[in-house]
């Protein structure tokens, strides 16, 4: 299970952005996180940048996976549905459910979702 933002488990460098222009201010080799945006997603794909996309629909998740997003981030209820689709179509992207505290780990683990990301990491 992937844990991003946990106090105990070290995790990769994360850079939150909301435009392509923000990318130049990110730390080298960090994973870029942004709300679904086709322009930014295409830019990351073209430039082989590690990206994590916050999605609100299955359609957005399919595009994110097709354009090589490392992580697809969504609310728990969507993550449960999306994980089944990701397994069926063998997504390369990992599905991360947004949580507020580690009290939610067990629920996510039982739903067999790839991992979690803490809400406070998303800015």
**pTM of structure:** 0.96
Give tens-digit pLDDT for 55-84. 999 999 999 999 999 999 999 999 999 999
CA atoms of 61 and 53, how far apart (whole Å): 8
- Does residue 123 carry a pLDDT above 90? no
> What's the pLDDT at 88?
94
User: Please, what are the domains in the chain?
Assistant: 2-6+30-122 (3.20.20.70)
* Residue with tokens 């399919």, as numbered in its chain: 62
Q: Is pLDDT above 80 for 19?
A: yes
- In angstroms, rounded to a whole number, what is the distance separating the alpha carbons of residues 96 and 116? 5
């Amino acid at each position: 299970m992937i844990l991003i933002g946990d106090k105990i488990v070290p995790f990769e460098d994360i850079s939150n952005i909301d435009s392509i222009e923000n990318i130049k201010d990110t730390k080298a080799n960090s994973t870029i996180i942004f709300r679904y945006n086709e322009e930014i997603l295409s830019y990351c794909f073209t430039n082989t940048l590690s990206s994590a996309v916050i999605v609100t629909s299955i359609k957005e998740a399919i595009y994110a996976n097709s354009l090589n997003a490392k992580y697809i981030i969504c609310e728990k209820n969507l993550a449960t549905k999306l994980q089944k689709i990701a397994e069926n179509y063998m997504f390369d992207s990992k599905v991360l459910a947004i949580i507020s505290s580690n009290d939610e780990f067990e629920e996510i683990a039982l739903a067999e979702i790839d991992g979690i990301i803490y809400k406070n990491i998303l800015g």
